[in-house]
Amino acid sequence: MPPDDPAPGAGPDAGAIRAAGSAPVAPLSSGPRPDPAELYAALDLGTNSCRMLIAQPKGNQLHVVDSFSKSVQLGNGLEASGLLSRSSMARTIGALKICRRKLETHDVQRMRLVATEACRRAGNAGEFIKLVERETGLPLEIIEPEEEARLAVVSCAPLVSSKAEQLLVVDIGGGSTELVWIDLTRVPRHERARAIMRLHAGFQGVADDPFPRAKVVDWISIPLGVATLKDQFRDVTDDAARFALMSWHFEECLAEFSPYEDAAGDSDPGFQIIGTSGTVTTVAATHLNLRRYDRNKVDGLRMTTQQIDRVIRGYLAMGPDGRRNDPRIGRDRHALIMSGAAILQALLRVWPTDRLSVADRGLREGLLYAQMSADGVLDDGPY
């Protein structure tokens, strides 16, 4: 997602985000207040950020009514202590109280509020979940890595190329990185995005599903994201050396995930990588020289590996002070961009390709689509 979400109703989250297609985001139009019965909410509490979307179904699209995003750094100190700190929990509770007020304002009844890697790893996660319920009344649940990976994949379906036969979806989070490899060779080209959408029911698919099925060849959740990888190498003072060590360390963690080692060549049109994360969207914004983030320009952008390398070399040349003051990186992203870039660089070394598709979408959109699909309120129109 972008480095900083704008105010609700303006910028990248405003308007209609396609759950099943690739139309641009439209501005949120003024008009009558949405019927609360039509509203759904999705909240993603990660290692670094707390994000929420409130949306309603419009055809086969998601029409965003309100949004929230804040860096809470829930995982600060977790690598060393194995526990969520009191200060991190207090920051997060403050953000969740804002989310609760938004849910009450819109009278949202259907919602799914989830926590990911930081809460999966923390020894006091149970205590924290009870604290959230006591202080905010919100039903926060910790989801397993497979569901996190599955929902991230579903959100990226509109960006799948009709030419893609092998698809790798990468979600770089704050505390973990999920990778899912999908074989689409048996799915007709016009059905490929739809087949990805149907994975919300499970990676194994539904036994009596009459539609062509996308085959999940392999998936992995690596307990290293932009925050946890940075923490592991915080004692390395040299900027370039720290970046190199992070990248090579992450590549070592990919050893167990090699479903089709020879599937992708430098110019194989049948292989597609889609990256979804603040890292990927920030790299794209830097490449486009966006002083103010614009989701319409970033989501769906295809970057060459040369363009990505050029941006990463530019980050290294800036040094910590330059990155801190670069408006294209953003206030909450500058301290984490090099660990994210290290992960991205490692991925492109392991699976050489000439392009990466940028997705400004992820767990929240996947949660919304899964809820709406289960209720049968999304049109099954063309993608």
What is the per-residue pLDDT across 240-256, written as a single tens digit (0 to 9) for each?
A: 999 999 999 999 999 88
In a domain, 268, yes or no: yes
Domain boundary among the residues 144, 175, 201 is at 144
Whether 80 and 223 map to the same domain: the answer is no
Whether 212 and 286 map to the same domain: the answer is yes
Q: What is the pLDDT of residues 38-60, one digit of tens each?
A: 899 999 999 999 999 999 998 77
Whether 127 and 180 map to the same domain: the answer is no
Q: What is the CATH number of the domain that holds 91?
A: 3.30.420.40
Whether 282 and 322 map to the same domain: the answer is yes
Q: Which ranges in the chain belong to alpha helices (H)?
A: 78-81, 86-106, 117-121, 125-136, 145-155, 192-197, 226-232, 239-253, 278-287, 295-298, 305-324, 337-350, 363-375
For tokens 């993603």, what's the residue? 44
Whether 130 and 191 map to the same domain: the answer is no
CA 30 to chain centre: 29
In a domain, 198, yes or no: yes
Contact indicator for 213, 195 with CB cutoff of 8 Å:
yes
Whether 321 and 202 map to the same domain: the answer is yes
Whether 224 and 314 map to the same domain: the answer is yes
Whether 211 and 351 map to the same domain: the answer is yes
Task: Report the alpha-carbon distance of residue 268 to residue 166 in Å, rounded.
Answer: 10
Task: Report the alpha-carbon distance of residue 123 to residue 234 in Å, rounded.
Answer: 22
Task: Report the alpha-carbon distance of residue 126 to residue 142 in Å, rounded.
Answer: 9
Domain boundary among the residues 113, 144, 175 is at 144
64: Cβ–Cβ under 8 A, 6 or more apart, which residues? 13, 14, 15, 16, 17, 28, 53, 54, 55
Phi, psi of 188 (to 5 degrees): -55, 150
What pLDDT is recorded for position 18?
34
Whether 257 and 292 map to the same domain: the answer is yes
In a domain, 381, yes or no: no
In a domain, 52, yes or no: yes
Provide the 10 A C-beta neighbour count for residue 98.
14
Contact indicator for 283, 308 with CB cutoff of 8 Å:
yes
Q: What is the CATH number of the domain that holds 211?
A: 3.30.420.150
Contact indicator for 35, 66 with CB cutoff of 8 Å:
no
Phi, psi of 132 (to 5 degrees): -60, -45
Domain encompassing residue 343: 148-359
Domain boundary among the residues 144, 170, 188 is at 144
Whether 321 and 191 map to the same domain: the answer is yes
Report residues of the chain scoring pLDDT below 70: 1-32, 205-212, 260-269, 379-383
Domains held by the chain: number: 2
